[in-house]
Structure 1
Amino acid sequence: MLRVAVVGSGPSGVYAAQALVQQREVPGVRIDVLDRLPAPYGLVRYGVAPDHEKIKSLTGSLRSVLEDERIRFLGNVEVGGELLPTARLLELYHAVVYCVGAARDRTLGLPGEELAGVHSATEFVSWYSGHPDARPFDLAGVRSAVVVGAGNVAVDVTRILARGVPELRPTDMPQAALGALADSGLRTVTMVARRGPSQGRFTTKELRELGTLAQVDTRVDPADLALDPACAEPGDPAAAAALPAVARRNVEVLRGWARAAPDPGARRSISLRFYLRPVELLAGPRGRVRGVRFERTAPDGRGGVRGTGAYEDLDAELVLRSVGYLGVPPAGLPFDAATGTVPHAAGRVLRAGRASVGEYVAGWIKRGPTGVIGTNRPCAKETVSSLLQDAGPLARRALPADPLTALHAAGLHPVEWPGWLAIEAAEADLGRSLGRRSVKIPDWPGLRAAAGIA
């Protein structure tokens, strides 16, 4: 029998477990999927926007894998800490596959970034997604918000800020987050990019959603389009033809919003601005942000932008940055700060340039914060292939009878699958009590109590 620990129950971890049970080379494989949180599914539960129910339905296929009799879910288990160092994990399993995101947001590095009301987009996503580590957001007095970034996460937080509470009520958003959004009094959300419209990193499907929100007027400044050779009308046909298909579709959506007449009945507005580079966050009363100063940029002819020396201030009582991620060193593993990943060869962890027997990586910690959910499947398969090539020597090592006994002895309180099902049931009960569908429990005590380990 080959006993494997998979650390992380998001898509990369579940796909690694699935690849292990589907292979035929080692028929006796058994997998424990460990997660620091009491709930499985990783970023599908805590990163996908609550109103993106089609994407969140991926949990159905992840669930079918975790319910396999050869796989055991063990939540509420932190790997790399004092109770369970990585060296101890290798004593309990023949092999360990680390499938952790290990990423934090990049900062803007600007004066005023420490002001109240300035946050990363990921902090905001964690809050409205009910992550138990998230801090509450105070949206009282927020009339204008600025989102710095031009990717799908920036689009997500812009949409959630502008979307009406009646549209969010059917989702599993925590009640406190729903109430804060309802009471915010927000009127304007501005999403700002330092480069041009044709260089946005959002997908067309995500972008189009901004124009479908009830009582929301979505606008693009025609002057921003005119600066971009690929967007100006009639523009440069050669430049437009050279764009990737997604960028061409994005440009058409943006042109449509630039042409549209303002909606006088709109309750809120979304403004997409381009060629603006943030240079300072402006302080208001009581140490809270009141706005952002931008420098106008222009194409530099080489695919980048240059500063023009012209500045523009945008009002904002809330600023969310969404400008990429940096890797975080996982406890007990080697780390390459330049790439933000664990050094590896086809998924085998490298320590001092040599493969560490029994240690493997998949997901963001292997390749960096790139790709979409589906990218994790081939990434996990490559790692599992390497593990199976090493299976002969690995399986000859004697192990304790059951790692779960050792985890309890170390003072850990794992949440097994029945505990997770109890959390699901408690969230369904909470939703019914609020006249909603299932509503997430957003705090550690509540999750642990629901799982029966409080």
Structure 2
Amino acid sequence: MIARKFSSAAMRSLRVCVVGSGPAGFYTAEKMLKAHEGAEVDIIDRLPTPFGLVRSGVAPDHPETKIVINQFSRVAHNERCSFFGNVTVGSSISLSELRQIYNVVVLAYGAESDRAFGIPGEDLNGVLSAREFVWWYNGHPDFSNLSPDLKSTDTAIVLGQGNVALDVARILLRPTTELAVTDIASHAMAALKESSIRKVYLVGRRGPVQAACTAKELREILAIKDLYVNIKEADLLQTPADEEEMKNNRIRRRVFELLSKASSSGARHSDPGQRELHFTFFRKPEKFIESNDRSGHVAGVNFEKTTLQGSADSGYQVAVGTGQYEDINCGLVLKSIGYKSIPVDGLPFDHSKGVVPNIRGRVVSSSDVVQPEAGLYVCGWLKRGPTGIIATNLYDAEETVASISEDIEQSGLTSVFASTKPGRNGLQQLLESRNVNVVTFNDWEKIDSEEKRLGSLKGKPREKLTTWNDLLEITSK
């Protein structure tokens, strides 16, 4: 409601830059446009394609999740909004330059790296992050040449039991006839058709009560046709602390119920040639094992068995090692233990948490200092860490925009908000002087149209262009 107070000339000249065009960025732009009539909002992204993880993270067999792109497109078509693709903060333009050009800069560029275990063998061939694998099958231009080896092994281990872990396991196990009618990248489709993988282990360091996935994702992977699901009955034994966790968390209770049902209804043994999904609990990786036959390539994972410590009162149980070990052989490992944000020059950053220190979206110079950086804000994973669903970014954006509005209302005539900034014109001039090949939203619509045209020839919603050259070539036509 604060927003309606802003109708002065100063507000009509408010120049806002949002860095990152994923859900957090578009929701922030949408809220800013509604909150401040006359404000100009520019969205910049290092990729030539907008929508962030909606395009490169959401699984191809989840088309309903991508419908939000229609809402984001309406934001981009607002006459007070512009999209600047193929613009990288750091090389195309610096953060300090953006702060000079705009009254408000909101960083919402998400997480483009991965957490690491830091254990021996992590650099072996065949050990990949789930993010890399997801970006590969979703046609991200940075990973179109990843070429994971799916032919030399029949077994993959996925480390983690969250929704991303279930996504990659499902893509490996789902019949390719079902994936062929999605927007999965053609190079991934070709590799999956020739894949030898028939067995996937989903490994978690804690138990089934603590599995981090949602019931919807779990239900979907359990419904794969002709899939043998293996869950050890001993792993499903509940402690009083487990029961307390489930009593306080409906999602965990529902996930446990689904796992229990899958265990009791499944066959005791798989049929020859049948694809297998093994839920493996109470294991933490100790090291990745190198192959004797293929130097430099992973051949398995050495796990330490774990047990849970913690009380029902604390509501949180921690996995601790037992000193007992076992190996599981495989030729492919996908680490799904979390994405990680990376800083840019001039940005305060908490490396231990992987987030920008902030108070309700206001960037502060460190976690110990509550003095905000004038005109600098953060939203999305960069603000809170890589958690939540797409809609979580909506609430996150509302909070950040509310902070911006409060700061504008309480600022004086000499503040960063009151000063006249060049905004869009200044950005365009600077990028032109550096010969940056900017991709506009109209350019993106050329890409979108071509992808849909190519997809229609194959009975797919779209055939993604997956290289930088192909994407940029279309924009020049």
Q: TM-score, normalised on structure 2?
A: 0.88
Equivalent residue, structure 2, for 1:452: 476
| Matched residue type, 2:454 | L
Equivalent residue, structure 1, for 2:380: 363
Q: Does 1:10 align with 2:22?
A: yes
Map 1:235-384; keep pairs closer than 5 Å: 239=244, 242=247, 244-259=249-264, 260-261=266-267, 262=269, 264=271, 267-284=274-291, 285-300=294-309, 302=311, 303-351=317-365, 353=369, 354-384=371-401
In the alignment, is the contact (CA less than 8 A) between 2:149 and 2:332 conserved in 1?
no
Distance 1:413 1:56 in 2: 27
After superposition, the Cα gap between the structure-2 partners of 1:301 and 1:355, relative to the gap in structure 1 and judged at 3 Å, is: closer
Q: Does 1:144 align with 2:155?
A: yes
Equivalent residue, structure 1, for 2:3: none
Distance 2:218 2:245 in 1: 19
Distance 1:75 1:58 in 2: 19
After superposition, the Cα gap between the structure-2 partners of 1:130 and 1:238, relative to the gap in structure 1 and judged at 3 Å, is: closer
Distance 2:53 2:70 in 1: 14
Q: CA-to-partner distance for each residue in 1:369-403, whole Å, 9 max, x for gaps?
A: 22221121122122222223344644542333713
In the alignment, is the contact (CA less than 8 A) between 2:209 and 2:246 conserved in 1?
no
Question: How far has the Cα of 1:355 moved from its partner?
Answer: 2.4
| Matched residue type, 1:310 | Q
- Aligned equivalent of 1:388, options 405, 428, 431: 405
The runs of at least 4 consecutive aligned structure 1 residues that moved more than 4 Å come to: 236-241
| Matched residue type, 2:32 | L
After superposition, the Cα gap between the structure-2 partners of 1:323 and 1:366, relative to the gap in structure 1 and judged at 3 Å, is: same
Equivalent residue, structure 2, for 1:168: 179
Which ranges in structure 1 are unaligned for 5 or more consecutive residues? 231-235
Equivalent residue, structure 1, for 2:8: none
After superposition, the Cα gap between the structure-2 partners of 1:33 and 1:289, relative to the gap in structure 1 and judged at 3 Å, is: same
Distance 2:464 2:44 in 1: 21
Q: CA-to-partner distance for each residue in 1:121-142, whole Å, 9 max, x for gaps?
A: 1111111111111133232212
Bigger CA drift: 440-449 or 216-225? 216-225
In the alignment, is the contact (CA less than 8 A) between 1:80 and 1:332 conserved in 2?
no
Q: CA-to-partner distance for each residue in 1:397-452, whole Å, 9 max, x for gaps?
A: 23337132332122211111110001111212322344533111111111111222
Equivalent residue, structure 1, for 2:221: 210
Question: How far has the Cα of 1:12 moved from its partner?
Answer: 0.8
| Local SS of the residue matching 1:414 | coil
| Local SS of the residue matching 1:269 | strand
Equivalent residue, structure 1, for 2:204: 193
Distance 2:272 2:475 in 1: 47
Bigger CA drift: 64-73 or 238-247? 238-247
Question: How far has the Cα of 1:332 moved from its partner?
Answer: 2.5
Distance 1:258 1:381 in 2: 42
Question: How far has the Cα of 1:94 moved from its partner?
Answer: 2.0
| Matched residue type, 2:363 | V
Task: Please tell me the root mean square deviation across aligned C-alpha atoms, in Å.
Answer: 2.1
Distance 2:288 2:60 in 1: 30
Equivalent residue, structure 1, for 2:57: 47
Bigger CA drift: 160-169 or 390-399? 390-399
After superposition, the Cα gap between the structure-2 partners of 1:444 and 1:249, relative to the gap in structure 1 and judged at 3 Å, is: same
Distance 1:266 1:205 in 2: 27
Equivalent residue, structure 2, for 1:87: 96
Percent same amino acid at aligned positions? 40
Bigger CA drift: 163-172 or 327-336? 327-336
Which ranges in structure 2 are unaligned for 5 or more consecutive residues? 1-12, 312-316
In the alignment, is the contact (CA less than 8 A) between 2:111 and 2:339 conserved in 1?
no
Distance 1:237 1:140 in 2: 40
Distance 2:453 2:246 in 1: 54
| Matched residue type, 2:104 | A
Q: TM-score, normalised on structure 1?
A: 0.92
Question: How far has the Cα of 1:77 moved from its partner?
Answer: 0.8
In the alignment, is the contact (CA less than 8 A) between 1:211 and 1:217 conserved in 2?
no
After superposition, the Cα gap between the structure-2 partners of 1:213 and 1:363, relative to the gap in structure 1 and judged at 3 Å, is: same
